[in-house]
Amino acid sequence: MTKAPARVHVLAITAALALAASSWIGSLAVAPVEAQAPAGGSRGQAPAARGGGPGGFAAPTTLTPYDDYTGFTRIFDGQTFTNWDGERDVWSIVDGMLHADTTKTPGQHHIHYRGPGAVMRDFTLKVEVKLSETGANGGVQYRSRLLHPAHGGSMADPLGTPLPPTVTTMDEAVAAGLTAAPGNRAGGAGRPGGAAAPGARGAMAARGGGASAAPAAPAANPCVGQVGAPPAPAGRGGTGTAAAATGNPWQVSGYQFDLDSNNQYTGQLYEGQGRNIITAPGTIGMLLPGGCKILLGRLPGDAKTAIKPHRGLDGDWQQLEIVVRGNMMVHVLNGEVMSVTIDDDPAARAPQGILSLQLEGSGQIWYRNVFLRVQDHPLEFPR
Measure the CA–CA gap between 105 and 90, rounded to whole angstroms. 7
Is 205 domain-assigned? yes
More confident residue, 25 or 37: 25
Is 53 domain-assigned? no
Is 23 domain-assigned? yes
Rounded mean pLDDT, 143-167: 95
Longest dimension (CA), the chain: 73
Measure the CA–CA gap between 322 and 133, rounded to whole angstroms. 24
Is 47 domain-assigned? no
More confident residue, 353 or 240: 353
Q: What pLDDT digit, counting tens, does each position of 145-156 carry?
A: 999 999 999 999
At residue 326, the pLDDT reads: 94
Is 40 domain-assigned? no
Q: What pLDDT digit, counting tens, does each position of 80-135 carry?
A: 999 999 999 999 999 999 999 999 888 899 999 999 999 999 999 999 999 999 99
Is 96 domain-assigned? yes
Half-sphere exposure of 10 (CA within 13 A, CB side): 14
Confidence of residue 60 (pLDDT cuts 50, 70, 90): confident
Helix or strand (DSSP H, E) at 109: strand 109-113
Q: Whole-prediction pTM value?
A: 0.75
Which CATH number is 353's domain given? 2.60.120.560
Is 62 domain-assigned? yes
Confidence of residue 295 (pLDDT cuts 50, 70, 90): very high
Is 211 domain-assigned? yes
- Containing domain of residue 239, as a range? 6-28+58-374
The number of folded domains in the chain is: 1
